[in-house]
Amino acid sequence: MRRTRLSLAFLLVPLLLSAQAGPGQEALERATDAFFDQSLQAEELRRLLEAGREAFAGLVDPCLRDYWLARVEYLSGFVERGDKREKEAQRRFQAGLALAERASSCSGLADAPRLQADLIAQLIPARGALYAMSHGPRIRTLTERSLGLEPASAKARLTLALYFLNAPAIAGGSDAEALRLLHELEGREELERPDRFGVLTWLGLAYQGRKDPERARQFFRRAQEVYPGNTWVRELAASL
């Protein structure tokens, strides 16, 4: 992969299957918002995620159980990475990938292949070039599988946009196609809060890469309005 900034793909978990998710969803949503708004310390986030993990572990349907547990492991990986515990982050991402792979084999879980793709993306930086060459193309394949099952999925469209933005040209990378998809998502009023934050932040990063600081700054500032406590986008905007 051309860049390692696929980490923001975590941002955008659509709230799918909420009716079946039970009480664990509230803990996961709270942890997601607190992580991006930087309103809780790592230990507090871990407690919330553990509450979600315990709730989802009680789901009767094994497909739903694996899917939601994979989402918990995904966010857990970012919490550990943010706390500078990269080995533990990789362990969480790998555990999430195994769960997402099982969920992807179930019918009716359109978002599971996309989640699997995002987990692969987080393993690439630590696994190196050979892993990227063998697994990187799966990101697009899995995401397109999700879109085949749910064409309107904002999360899958965002993951595909990030693939185009980060993949080398020989593997289908295209800044122009990434921007087209990101701007299309920008106009969707129904985006959940984490999704909107991710779309705006990635638009800022894309224009920063295109040496267009004014447009990049505008998107970073709009992203900051979504999560005012996020110091990273604040610093990105201030640096331009």
How confident is the model over 31-46, as pLDDT tens digits?
999 999 999 999 999 9
pLDDT at 8 over 90: no
pLDDT at 148: 96
pTM for the structure as a whole: 0.89
Q: For 158-207, what is each residue's pLDDT tens digit?
A: 999 999 999 989 889 999 999 999 999 999 988 999 999 999 999 999 99
The answer for 172, left when phi > 0, alpha when psi is -120 to 50, beta otherwise, is left
pLDDT at 10: 39
Residue 235 tokens, joined: 């610093």
Q: For 124-144, what is each residue's pLDDT tens digit?
A: 988 888 888 889 899 999 999
More confident residue, 14 or 233: 233
Q: Can you spell out the DSSP letters for 144-197?
A: HHHHHH-TT-HHHHHHHHHHHHHS-GGGT--HHHHHHHHHHHHT-TT--HHHHH
CATH level 2 (architecture), domain 5-238: Alpha Horseshoe (1.25)
